Amino acid sequence: MTIRFEATAPVLRIFSVEKAREFYLDFLGFSVEFEHRFGPDFPLYLGISRGELELHLSEHHGDATPGSAVFVRMIGIDEFHAELTAKKYPYNRPGIEEQPWGRVVSVTDPFANRIHFCERPAAGGVAAP
């Protein structure tokens, strides 16, 4: 049998469903894949996606640590940056950083989690981190 890894879905801790929806759905353009609660008034576990990128957002204590970071490889960084800028989201106005490993748009959610979206450099650039 050959070992094969499939898609990753990082889990990020959230503390407000409303703020999470505003940031991830309205600002970043994700869609809801599923919502789960063990019962009424229980914490939410929310699956979201945009294209092939899937994230899980959790209100559950112990599922993840606030202030985590996720590094996402992508194509179309200029278009993505223009889309975010056009929304004029008052709490996050990211720029594009030129790094040896690519062009990066970094955002921080309302819970101090950071997502670094990175488009690989043209041929000859460094392929890390």
Structural domain boundaries in the chain = 11-119
Instruction: Please state the φ and ψ torsions of residue 93, each to the nearest 5 degrees.
Output: -130, 80
Q: Is 63 exposed, middle or buried (0-12, 13-18, 19+ CB in 10 A)?
A: middle
Q: Is 103 helix (H, G, I), strand (E, B) or coil?
A: strand
Q: Residue 9's pLDDT is what? A: 95
Quick: pLDDT tens for 8-47.
999 999 999 999 999 999 999 999 999 999 999 999 999 9
Alpha carbon 84 to chain centroid, angstroms: 13
Strand 53-58 and strand 69-73: the pairing is unpaired
Whether residue 127 has pLDDT greater than 70: no
CATH 3.10.180.10 fits 11-119, yes or no: yes
Strand positions, DSSP E, the chain: 11-13, 31-36, 45-50, 53-58, 69-73, 97-99, 102-108, 114-119
Length of the chain (residues): 129
Kindly state the average pLDDT of the residues 44-51. Answer: 97
Kindly state the average pLDDT of the residues 39-65. Answer: 95
Q: How many CB atoms lie within 10 A of CB 54?
A: 15
